[in-house]
Chain A
C-alpha cells in the first residue's frame, strides 16, 4: 500500500516545478448589509427552499415551540439540553426524549418513532439562508437529520453575511469539529425529471426560529 503511495507521489513530484504560482486571493465578497437586511435575506432565502421561518423574542421560545408542535401533531420530540428546561415545561402531552445514549443502543427507535427534534445553531448565513451546525455530545449528528421535522433555533445576532465570513470570523481552520454542517432548507431531490420533491432522506420540514435577543 505504501508502495502505491510512493509511486503516486514520485510521479507527481517528478513533474512539479519549484516555481510558486501566485497564491489565489482570499475570497471576501463585500456585502455591507445592515442587521435588518441580513435578517430579511436570511429569511427570504430559507423560505424560497421551503424553510418555515418565525421571528420571536427570547421569552417566547417555549410558547412558540408548544404551538408549533401542536400544529404539526408531534408526539415525541428529541430535546436538546442546551435550552433552559423551562421551554419544555409547557409541552404537556408531548414526550420529550434525550439523546443521551450511544446511537447503537437506540438506532431503531430514533429512525422509526421520533417525530421532531430541536437544536441550536452555531450561526446563520444570510446570503444563502443557511444554518451552521457543529454537532456535539449534547446535540449529536443524527439529531438534526433523522427526525422528519427539524426545529433549529438561530440567534439573530449570530447571522453573518457569507459562508466565507463565518469561516474566517469563527477561526474555523484552527478548530474544525468532527462534523461541521451547512443546512439550507429541508431535504430535497430533483432526480425524477428535474421536478423538485421535498423530504427524500433528511427532514421533510425545517422550521427556523430566529430569536431576537437584543431588545
Chain B
C-alpha cells in the first residue's frame, strides 16, 4: 500500500501540496491541534539547563546504541530467547509481513487486534493480512478512526490529527447507524470503548510496535495513554511485536531519560498513562498474558542509512513527532501531502533514504531551513543540516555516496545555468560585457517569470551597474 504511495511521492508532491493548501478545513485542523501541542511541550521544559543536559544525554544514549548496534542486537536476541520470546529478522517489509502471516498461519486465528505501530505502516502489514483473509482491527482511537475512513495516518503520534471533531462524528454516524449521532468527544470516546472492548475480548492475536528494546534484559517497552497497547499485548494468546532494528538500547538505565524526554517532547506530558515493559510470555504459573511472544526485527534500509557518517543521525530518532509539530511547512500542508509513511522534517530526511532519492528526494525541498525542527529534537538530530544534505544528494553526490538514487534529480537546465553564471562571474571581461548589456536592455527584461511572479514582482536590472556607479563616484577599481 505504502509502496504505491512511495513511487508517486516525487511526481505528485507539488500537486498534493497545492490541494492541501487549497483546503481551509485541513489547514484549520492542523493549526488548532499543533498550536496546543507546541504550548504543552514548552510547559514541560521550564528549565533550559535541564533540557540541554537531558538532550545531550539522550543523544549520547542513542548514538551509543547505534555505534554498538550489531552487538546489541545479538545481545537482545540472546536475552529475549532466554526469556522465551521468539526473535525473527526481516531484511525488508515484505519479509516482515510474511514472517507475521507465517506465525499466524494454521493457528485458527481470525481476528487480530493492533496497537499503534508506524513500522507496520511502513511494511503495509494490515493490507497483507487482510488479503490473506484475516480481520485486522486498529485499537488506538486515532488509528481506529482513520481505519474506518480508509486513510493512512497523517501524523506519527496523532494519526487522525487532520480530522475535526465534526468530521469524526459524521464518520461514526455513517459507520455505526445504530449509535445515536453525537459530536461530543466524551460520548464518541465511550462508543469506541464499547465497540473495541468486544474486539479485545475476542481477538486471537495482538500486534504491536516497540518504543525501546532493552538488550541488557531482553525487554520490549511500549509507551501509550489509552490502554489499547496493554490490551493488545496481554489479552490475546499470541503477541507479535514488530520493530525497526534501530530501536534497541543497551541498558535498562537508558530507559528513564529516554522515556522522560519522549513523552514531554511528543505530547507535553510528564509521563504517559502507561509504560508497559514486556520481558517474557506467560510463565507456567501465571494466569494471563500471551503464551507466545514474537519480535520481528526489521531492517528495511536502516543498515544502509547507518553507513553514512552524517546521515546515520537519522536513526537516533525516537519518533516523538516534535519536529513535525513545530514545522511551519507541515502545519500548512498536513501529513498526507507528503505521501509517505513519515511526514514532516524527519520524513523529509528518512523517506528519501528509505525509498531512494529518485522516489522521495523532493520532500527535502519543502523546507525553509528555519531550524525549529533541529532545536526541538530531543536527541539532537541536526535535521536542517540533513535536509540540506538530501538536497545536495539529489543534485550531485560524492562518488562514494551510499544514498539510494543519489544524483537522480539532477536538472540539466539548472546545471547549465549555474555553469554560465560561474563563467560570467569568473571573467572581468565577460562580466563587464554582461552588466553593460543588461543595463542597456533592461526594458526588455521579462515581467512574468512563471510561479515566481505569481506573488512577486520580477527583478529588473538597474539603470547603472554597481561598478559604473562606483566609477562615477571616483572609487577606484580593486
Contact = CB atoms under 8 A, between A and B. Distances in A.
B231 A145 contact: yes
B73 A194 contact: no
A57 to B, nearest CB: 29
Contact of A142 (B32, B57, B288): B288
A84 interface: no
Most buried by B among A13, A137, A178: A178
A185 B273 contact: yes
Nearest to B87: A5
Interface string A33-66: 0000000000001000100000000000000000
Interface stretch (A85-93, A100-108, A114-122): A100-108
B256 A178 contact: no
Most buried by A among B145, B189, B278: B189
Given A12-B306, A27-B57, A179-B276, A201 B228 contact: yes
A55 B286 CA distance: 32
Contacts of A184: 270-274
B266 to A, nearest CB: 11
Contacts, number: 238
B148 interface: no
Interface string B27-69: 0010011001100000000000000000001001101100111
Most buried by B among A9, A20, A201: A201
A16 interface: yes
Interface string A157-201: 000001110011000110011111111111111111111010111
A188 B145 CA distance: 16
Nearest to A99: B287
B289 to A, nearest CB: 5
B193 A103 contact: no
Interface in B222-261: 225-228, 230-231, 234-235, 237, 245, 251-257, 259-260
Interface stretch (B135-143, B411-419, B430-438): B135-143
B161 A140 contact: no
B265 to A, nearest CB: 15
B230 to A, nearest CB: 5
A200 B228 contact: yes
A194 B161 contact: yes
A36 to B, nearest CB: 20
B211 interface: no
Contacts of A178: 278-283, 286, 289
A1 B88 contact: yes
Given A103-B287, A188-B225, A8 B91 contact: yes
Interface in B282-299: 282-283, 285-289, 297, 299
B445 interface: no
B78 to A, nearest CB: 12
B299 A23 contact: no
Contact of A12 (B69, B88, B274): B69
Specify the main secondary structure of chain A where it touches its partner: loop
Contacts of B68: 16
A136 interface: yes
A83 interface: no
Given A178-B278, A180-B279, A195 B256 contact: no
B127 interface: no
A173 B286 contact: no
B64 A23 contact: yes
A9 B252 contact: no
B241 to A, nearest CB: 13
Contacts of B230: 141, 145, 181, 202
Interface residues of B, number: 95
A102 B284 CA distance: 11
A23 to B, nearest CB: 7
A187 B227 contact: yes
Given A9-B74, A202-B274, A27 B279 contact: no
Nearest to B34: A194
Nearest to B253: A26
A15 B270 contact: no
A164 B255 CA distance: 8
B165 interface: yes
Contacts of B201: 107-108, 111-112
A2 to B, nearest CB: 8
A137 B282 CA distance: 10
B186 interface: yes
Contact of A195 (B165, B226, B235): B165
Nearest to B288: A103
Given A197-B185, A201-B226, A190 B158 contact: yes
Given A102-B287, A200-B189, A192 B274 contact: no
B335 interface: no
Contacts of A2: 89
A143 to B, nearest CB: 8
Given A145-B231, A179-B277, A192-B168, A202 B245 contact: no
Contacts of A112: 201
B267 interface: yes
Contacts of A70: none
B388 interface: no
A191 B160 contact: yes
Given A99-B287, A145-B231, A191-B160, 13 more contacts: A1-B89, A8-B89, A8-B245, A145-B230, A167-B255, A176-B218, A178-B278, A178-B286, A178-B289, A187-B227, A191-B142, A195-B185, A200-B193
21 contacts: A1-B89, A8-B245, A8-B297, A8-B299, A11-B304, A21-B60, A22-B60, A142-B234, A145-B227, A163-B256, A173-B252, A173-B253, A177-B279, A180-B219, A181-B277, A191-B141, A194-B36, A197-B185, A197-B189, A200-B227, A201-B139
The 5 closest A-B pairs by CB, nearest first: A202-B227, A191-B142, A24-B60, A182-B275, A201-B227
